[in-house]
Homo-oligomer: A and B are copies of this chain.
Amino acid sequence: MTVVRTIAALRAEVAAWRRRGETLALVPTMGALHEGHLALMREGLRRADRVVVSIFVNPTQFSPEEDLARYPRQEARDRDTLSKVGQCLLFAPTVAEMYPEGFSTRVSVAGVSEGLCGAFRPVHFCGVATVVTKLLLQTLPDVAVFGEKDYQQLQVIRRLVTDLDIPVRVVGVPTVREADGLALSSRNASLSAPERSRATALYQILQETSAAVTLGVAPNAAAAAAVDRLLAAGFTPLEYLEVRDAHTLAPLTGPLIRPARVLAAAWMGRTRLIDNVAIEPPGTSGS
């Protein structure tokens, strides 16, 4: 596997592919790769001749009290993992390469960044928006692939790509789950055995909330019931569980007539878990 660590080296590789008329997919990651990331890479391989996987633990999307220093870094193992799936170029820049001295530009997205995770991680989405803009403009891929697990992040990226006219197609890939439904996450490894057992309730409750709303239960009532069940299942603190418009992430007002999403973030012991499930408007499913 070829590994490049500078923007200049990345661009030289991409330029060589472009001269041969090849297409290109970018899969941005923070490393600590698991099957969820590999699903993104497989999607990239299906959609383009070449795949660039980036591994960069972006400091600007962590707030000072968050776990930047403890975020797992295991590039050698990640390279092995990627090589089992197929060919890709690994772009693994340093912090100094991404943010040299004097760096002072920020990309921020109003609306879709607000509330949900944005309310609990105030600098997070500005950091994500800025680094993803940089990665997209460094690589200029045809397609960029992101997971639906970080659903609000995906909508933030869709918004900034549209708004800034970045010439790339953003593709979202459904969340990869364990057999019992728990969404794959590098943070799952820090759950104790009893916590891991209880954690499965998150996806179950989100699924059942989605089904209830599609059957006609008012979103607010369904969400309130789900909050009670999550707390009873041992998720504390519960940061949020909300039903939102699937595209704008705006709070719902009135009856559900467009696709929605139920999203939650909650702590199981010392581990923060997030997940989300699609909701079809009443009368549109089961056909």
Could you list which residues of chain A lie within 8 angstroms of chain B, going by C-beta atoms? 7, 11, 102-112, 129-130, 133-134, 137-138, 140, 159-160, 163-167, 248
Contact = CB atoms under 8 A, between A and B. Distances in A.
A110 B130 CA distance: 14
Given A107-B107, A108-B108, A164 B134 contact: yes
8 contacts: A102-B248, A104-B159, A105-B108, A105-B109, A106-B107, A134-B164, A137-B166, A140-B167
A180 to B, nearest CB: 38
Contacts of A107: 105-107, 164
Given A134-B165, A138-B165, 7 more contacts: A105-B109, A105-B129, A105-B163, A106-B108, A107-B107, A130-B164, A134-B164
A135 to B, nearest CB: 8
Nearest to A129: B105
Contacts of A111: 102, 104
A165 B7 contact: yes
Contact of A159 (B7, B105, B133): B105
Nearest to A103: B163
A120 B166 CA distance: 31
A112 B108 contact: no
Contacts of A112: 104
Nearest to A109: B105
A44 to B, nearest CB: 20
A167 B11 CA distance: 10
A104 B164 CA distance: 10
A73 B248 CA distance: 35
A222 to B, nearest CB: 27
A255 to B, nearest CB: 22
Nearest to A113: B104
Contacts of A160: 105
A202 to B, nearest CB: 29
A137 B165 contact: yes
